[in-house]
Amino acid sequence: MGMDIVTAANDRQTGTMRRRSVRRSRTLACAALLLAATAACSPGTLPGAASPVLTGGGGARYNGTITYRRVGSVPFSFTEAQGLSLSISMRGDDQIFGRFETPESSGSISGTVNGSLASGTFDATVLVSSAAGGAGGTVTCEGEGRISGTFSGVNLSWSGGTIQYSNCPGLLVTSSVQAIAISPIPGAFGSRANVVIAVLGGTSIARGTCPGGAPGYPFTVEMAEHSGVGVTFDATFDTADESGARTTLDMPFRDLAGGSRRTYSVCSPSPGTYQAFFSGTDANGNGLRVASPIVTFVP
């Protein structure tokens, strides 16, 4: 894929109204109904039905366990099995986004789903920050990997390839998750921002015309914040092609207000695949790392 991608910020930015008391009551009511196995929260509608909180998709909140297993012998220690809180949103027909937290790690997933959140399979990129004990004490290791998983009724599972930690050399792990949906409304994570990056119109991009009239693959990226916590992005972001080669580009905009969404336009001159990786800091000082789904430019 040619990496001289054209990006242009679109100054459209809209806020989203939040009704927290209504959301909490719906969440508690639906969780209680689920435990009672009533039809209102049956596997056919939880979490496959569209959530009233989101636009253009559905979502769910899950509880479960994530297990990290080391590959090889490295001088880092951590708890292998950890309790997991996971929130997933679905946009359009094929894109999923999630945020998760455990006692010793937190992270995000972004990918595509074949089917729905009630019945389907998915492939995604996972970005995780893990607390690991080393010779110099506990450090925060920043990892990246690929996972694949299944939605079946209220159950979610994933497993995947190796997660590699760029700032903790030699630390490699695999991850697996078993979780159950407790609400069809995605949850917030306290004071942390939750940024969802979607490709409007889907992740398969047809050939068209770039700005200026040159042939290429134009599409629009939407970045939305769902926890009500503003974000300041780093000045640059990385893109990766199918070979894994990365290119650093200027960020089209730096600020994303809590509960708002913004878009920017992209046009690649060549067929192939593309994924973008963003980082920044939210208004409460928490680090943020999030990826777009993989986009395919159809020859």
Number of domains present in the structure of the chain: 2
H or E element: which one contains 289?
strand 287-291
Domain boundary pick from 142, 165, 183: 183
Residues 139 and 221 in one domain: no
Residues 258 and 124 in one domain: no
> Which one is predicted more confidently, 207 or 49?
207
Q: In this structure, is residue 1 part of a structural domain?
A: no
> How many Å apart are CA 205 and CA 161, to the nearest integer?
27
Share of the chain above pLDDT 70, in %: 80
Q: Provide the 3-class DSSP secondary structure of residue 32.
A: helix
Residues 275 and 243 in one domain: yes
Domain, as residue range, for 49 = 20-183
Residues 42 and 105 in one domain: yes
Q: Is the pLDDT of residue 299 over 60?
A: yes
Q: What's 137's domain CATH number?
A: 2.40.160
Residues 126 and 160 in one domain: yes
pLDDT average, residue stretch 125-139: 82
Residues 169 and 208 in one domain: no
Q: What is the pLDDT of residue 215?
A: 94
Q: What is the pLDDT of residue 91?
A: 83
Residues 34 and 131 in one domain: yes
Least confident of 122-136, 232-246, 281-295: 122-136
Q: In this structure, is residue 287 part of a structural domain?
A: no
Most confident segment among 35-39, 43-47, 51-55, 108-112? 108-112
Categorize the per-residue pLDDT at 6 as very low, low, confident or very high, splitting at 50, 70 and 90. very low
Least confident of 35-44, 91-100, 184-193, 288-297: 35-44
Residues 118 and 139 in one domain: yes
66 Cβ contact list (under 8 Å, min separation 6): 81, 82, 84, 100, 102, 105, 175, 176, 177
Residues 98 and 141 in one domain: yes
Q: What's 197's domain CATH number?
A: 2.60.40
> How many Å apart are CA 126 and CA 245, to the nearest integer?
18
Least confident of 12-21, 116-125, 179-188: 12-21
Domain boundary pick from 149, 183, 217: 183
Residues 108 and 204 in one domain: no
pLDDT average, residue stretch 11-34: 39
Residues 111 and 163 in one domain: yes
Q: What is the pLDDT of residue 231?
A: 96
Share of the chain above pLDDT 90, in %: 50
Q: What is the pLDDT of residue 93?
A: 76
Q: In this structure, is residue 72 part of a structural domain?
A: yes
Q: In this structure, is residue 55 part of a structural domain?
A: yes
Q: In this structure, is residue 76 part of a structural domain?
A: yes
pLDDT in tens, 189-238: 778 898 999 999 889 999 999 988 999 999 999 999 988 999 999 999 99
Categorize the per-residue pLDDT at 136 as very low, low, confident or very high, splitting at 50, 70 and 90. low
Domain boundary pick from 183, 209, 226: 183
